[in-house]
Chain A
Amino acid sequence: MADDRETRFGEPDDFREEVPEPLTTEDAPVADADLPAADSTPDAPAMGEEALQVEARAEAEAPTHGVAALFNRSRRGTYRAQSKSGGARAKGSGSRTKMVALPSDGIVPERDLYATPVLECRHLGIDFGGLHAVEDFNLIVGKTEIAGLIGPNGAGKTTVFNLLTKVYQPTRGTILLDGVDTHGMTPSKVAQAGIARTFQNIRLFSNLTVEENVEIGLHNQVRCGMWSSIFRLPKYWVSEHEFHKQALELLDIFSMADMAEITAGNLPYGAQRRLEIIRALATHPKLLLLDEPAAGMNPVETEDLMTNIRKIRDEFQIAIVLIEHDMDLVMNICEGIAVLNYGKIIAKGTPEEIQGNEQVIEAYLGSGAKGA
């Protein structure tokens, strides 16, 4: 498991087969021992609220062994504090400076180690008036990762998506999409560059049919100019055929092809959410952002959705970041999880690590739960 971005970029591609042992946390210049323990319990039950409470109690009694306390904010904090308090002021001296790998809290699936991460956020932030809605948001998403972004209501999750898609212009920080800085791009340019999304409050083209919705998603995949359309030139007929064919293929992912002619606004809630995902997929994205895809779905539909999210990733080989309150779903399909509270990332890690993280439990249950 490689956590270190710098290490990753340091290795040439040829070393791929050797599966190099990257810097583990012990090698990093941070004394992990003095971190608050946030140990993983690999066989933890699914994280419902009760489960969390149980976990919290178990955590309070558990002995602290720090090595696995990965990637949470306090570690960064420790690192910063050290470099300040250590009295290591820069001064020129004859001897060689000892260079060490910078600790990073980025994690990606091992299979994505040598691919450019599809998304890199650096110190991303936005203010609404005086409110720091998102602050110092750092996240790396691997090329084919399914990542989760969780946190209590109002934590800033949707705002992060709005920053990534440029619905809001970030006040601070950088977003790299597949290595390309999206600075100054408009929402439509970002979409063309490869970020597609769904919305927490569904935004379909509700007066148009299901098929037309998907065809609009295909807007930049199939081309046909205004004049060709007005004069019904051969190009028009070719493009319409292509639109129709590709739209039905995409609808088939969620077995919605038989609903193609229904007006989107008349679909049941769950189907509207699925249609939004298909429309987003139609743009052939590199990164798919799903904002509470399971909201309003029944357990059967949610189960279905889980299968389909995995299927989409496997078939299209894209990265998916999802915001979700359904912990079953998150813990089940997400490979890496970031937890947001009050606009800041308070923890990052695997589902197991997150389930055992004290700060996460506290954020979800309030500080009162800690002592219980």
Chain B
Amino acid sequence: MAKNFSFSKLWKGPFGTYLIVIVAYVVFQALASTGNLPSVVIGLLPTICAYIVAAVSLNLVVGISGELSLGHAAFMSVGCYTGVVAATCYSAMFDIPWLVFFLSMFTGALFAALAGFVVGVPVLRLSGDYLAIVTLAFGEIIKNIMNNLYVGLDASGLHFSLTSSADLHMTNGKIIINGPQGAVGIEQLSTFFFGFCLVMLTLAVVLNLVRSRSGRAIMAVRDNAIAAESVGINTMKYRLMAFVVASALAGMAGVLYAMNYNAVVPVRFDYNASILILVYVVLGGIGNIRGSIISATVLVVLPEVLRFMSEYRMLIYAIVLIAVMVLPNVPAVKRFLDYLPTKLPFLRKRSEVPGDVVGGAE
């Protein structure tokens, strides 16, 4: 079988996704540097990247691995707080911002992965609705721990407490995590470029993983766990792999998010945030990585753009959400959407079947 090169094939593959992100980055960067972008949106760019990373990584769990997780924001918070603490420590050691940022990312990812493992081992014994509820519960547990966590740094090193900042027993040190006030005094190291790099890294990790032996095993477990076991796949291992990798990526998203502000409260990562990320995933299409990127971008920007409408803002936001969810299922719209690809060949689905092979008996 000769594989003939075609643009549409390349476009539908991972390269199309990378291309979209690169083009979007160049366009936004150009707009920002020529002063054509509102300053609200410019400040929002790293946040958009963080939510794209969160959505794409959650899609690895929900779409690729097929588990409904409602606690994804909690892993962002683990990354966020460990990343911020790490950044403060590293900053004290050397004065190279990108290196501090890079090492904090790594630390955040590591701890988020660890949290993903610790939560994943018991939680992934369940499946379906039960798993969703338990991930929700674990997410809240992590949030509540963060709510009561106090971390400070002084000359003698790091101090931890779960009661109050006074309990840190520091001598003129700096408080990094201050209970319900969250991470305070963060160095704002996040830039749009770093955000772009992280999005590209996330895409590379997820897309490379999906198109490999491990990725196929993950999708096999999703499609039919019993059949996957029958060919000798350790289902627990691959469900956990997807969950931990996604947690690590969410942790990095948390670091990126945190370092765009000078303070981040734990409530930022409660179940509302988890649901919001899930909305990005569902809206973009479960299992559709490109869709997650686009829907995360639109839905993060939308409330900011609608800010001029003050109190109607969230109403419009909700209406748009409902419309986007419902419209594709309205027959007339559906017909139009089905008709569209016949005109635009590059929109055709990936593995459509030649007529006579389809439609077997069932």
Contact = CB atoms under 8 A, between A and B. Distances in A.
A37 interface: no
Given A268-B361, A271-B360, A272-B360, A230 B209 contact: yes
Contacts of B241: 226
A263 B352 CA distance: 8
Interface in A237-268: 239-240, 243, 258-263, 266-268
A279 B231 contact: yes
Interface stretch (A46-54, A65-73, A108-116, A204-212): A204-212
Interface stretch (B80-88, B219-227, B266-274): B219-227
Given A229-B215, A263-B351, A207 B357 contact: no
Interface stretch (B142-150, B232-240, B335-343): B232-240
B321 to A, nearest CB: 26
A80 interface: no
A216 B231 CA distance: 8
Which among A207, A225, A226, A282 has the greatest number of chain B C-beta atoms within 10 A? A226
Instruction: Bin the interface of chain A by size.
Output: 35 or more
B214 A167 contact: no
A222 B212 CA distance: 11
Contacts of B96: none
Contacts of A223: 213
Contacts of A215: 213, 216
Interface in A197-227: 197, 199, 203-209, 212, 215-217, 219-220, 222-226
B95 interface: no
B213 A239 contact: yes
Contact of A188 (B223, B235, B245, B357): B235
Nearest to B358: A266
Contact of B220 (A189, A216, A230, A262): A216
B164 interface: no
Contacts of A261: 351
A329 to B, nearest CB: 19
B301 to A, nearest CB: 30
A143 to B, nearest CB: 21
B223 A207 contact: yes
A158 interface: no
Contacts of B214: 224-226, 229
Contacts of B217: 216, 219
Contacts of A280: 230-231
Interface residues of B, number: 35
B230 A197 contact: yes
A192 interface: yes
A89 interface: no
Contact of B361 (A187, A229, A296): A296
Interface in B23-40: none
A205 B230 contact: no
A178 to B, nearest CB: 16
A215 B214 CA distance: 11
A98 interface: no
Interface string A271-308: 11000000110110000000000001000000000000
Nearest to A215: B216
A262 B212 contact: no
Contact of B227 (A189, A203, A259): A203
Nearest to B237: A188
A364 interface: no
A208 B229 contact: no
B231 A217 contact: yes
Interface in B100-139: none
A165 B226 CA distance: 10
A269 interface: yes
A186 interface: yes
A189 B235 CA distance: 11
Interface of B: 1, 204-205, 208-209, 212-217, 219-220, 223-224, 226-235, 241, 245, 351, 353, 357-362
10 contacts: A188-B235, A205-B219, A205-B223, A207-B223, A216-B233, A226-B209, A226-B245, A243-B213, A268-B357, A272-B360
